[in-house]
Amino acid sequence: MFEDFTLDRIPVGDVTLRVRYGGSGPPVVLLHGHPRTHTTWYAVAPALAAAGFTVVCPDTRGYGQSGKPVTDAEHTPYSKRAMSNDVVGLMDALGHDTFSVVGHDRGSQVAYRTAFDHPERVSKLVVMDGVPVVEALERCGAKFAAMWWHWWFFAQTAKPAERVICADPETWYEAWTSNSPEALGPENHADFLAAIRNPATVHAMVEDYRAGLGVDRRHDEEFRAAGRQVGCPAMVLWSTRDDLEEIYGDPVAVWRPWCPNIVGYGVDSTHHLAENAPAELVERLVAFL
């Protein structure tokens, strides 16, 4: 897994990130979603490196083996702004002034926040299976609430979700059914399993969602109220066997007010595109990047 890539731990501000990087050429950062680690990209990253890119795959803060800072009342240590600052700090440490950023699921929120907050650094943006947080919350109806109820469950602090999840994390995260070694690949599955078995990681992952309903939403609202948009080329990809189109209609139309220079495509896949449809995903990424 990740042949010819370097595995490293790099300090960035108040956390140290576990990261794999390899290849040469234009740099691109790949950001995983929940509850994955950077190893979700095991089939995608080497193919991008072979296509002529420098590929950087971190565990985002809180996830996998990256640092897990103590939270606060507003959950700001787990805000997408904090995570995007980590991305910029990581690329500084690796010597890259500008880069493309690709994010899936929760990682898509980190990706677009990086483009929002650091437009001079991001050359191209790819978001996968996600819309801006404020769009999701403002458009929330019965269908979204039924399908994505875990957003509100994770946000609870009076009766913390961590206690429920950690009672049986392997069942909660379907580690032997839909997220089995056969589905994820044995080495990726082993890394995923180590992460979900760690109560500190589970706590950090739900902190990500708590930040999403508060501080992340406010940051989106501030960006929109200021009339700002992402100027760089952008692409949205979505799993056609997931529910993004069912909930939002055309994802490109949702994103266009935020990213005028955006294109979009559905990919024949279930939710985890990097694991379920790596060949088509790589083809789309190489063509765009």
Mean of per-residue pLDDT scores for the chain = 97
Listed in sequence order, the residues at least 6 apart from 253 whose beta carbon sits closer than 8 Å to its beta carbon are none
Percentage of the chain exceeding pLDDT 90: 98
64, 37 contact by CB (below 8 A): yes
Each residue of 20-45: pLDDT tens digit?
999 999 999 999 999 999 999 999 99
3-state DSSP assignment of residue 209 = helix
87-118 burial: b if 16+ Cβ within 10 Å, else e: bbbbbeebebeebbbbbbbbbbbbbbbbbbbb
Residue 202 pLDDT class (50, 70, 90 cuts)? very high
What is the 3-state composition of the chain as percent helix, strand, coil, each rounded to the nearest 5? 45, 20, 35
Before 35, cis peptide (omega within 30)?
A: yes
Residue 47 pLDDT class (50, 70, 90 cuts)? very high
Ramachandran assignment for 240, one of left (phi > 0), alpha (psi -120 to 50 degrees), beta (any other): alpha
- CA-angle at 208, arms to 203 and 213, nearest 5°: 125
CB atoms within 10 A of CB 167: 9
Average pLDDT over residues 176-205: 98
Query: Nearest 10 degrees: CA dihedral of 228, 85, 193, 145?
Result: -30
3-state DSSP assignment of residue 226 = coil
Spell out the domains of the chain, with CATH numbers in brackets. 6-288 (3.40.50.1820)
Q: How distant is the alpha carbon of residue 88 from its chain centre?
A: 15
d(CA 135, CA 151): 14
Each residue of 85-125: pLDDT tens digit?
999 999 999 999 999 999 999 999 999 999 999 999 999 99
pLDDT score at 69: 98
d(CA 257, CA 259): 6
pLDDT score at 214: 97
pLDDT score at 124: 98
Each residue of 236-284: pLDDT tens digit?
999 999 999 999 999 999 999 999 999 999 999 999 999 999 999 999 9
pLDDT score at 127: 98
The count of residues in the chain is 289
- Reference 224, options 216, 236, 213; nearest CA is 216
Each residue of 79-94: pLDDT tens digit?
999 999 999 999 999 9
Amino acid present at 257: P
DSSP conformational letter for 129: S
Beta bridge partners of 220: none
- Model's pTM, two decimal places? 0.98
Residue with tokens 């493309």: 100
Listed in sequence order, the residues at least 6 apart from 73 whose beta carbon sits closer than 8 Å to its beta carbon are none
Percentage of the chain exceeding pLDDT 70: 100
Each residue of 53-69: pLDDT tens digit?
999 999 999 999 999 99
Residue 51 pLDDT class (50, 70, 90 cuts)? very high
Each residue of 160-172: pLDDT tens digit?
999 999 999 999 9
3-state DSSP assignment of residue 70 = coil
Q: Show which residues are catalytic.
A: 105, 271
- Reference 48, options 276, 285, 236; nearest CA is 285
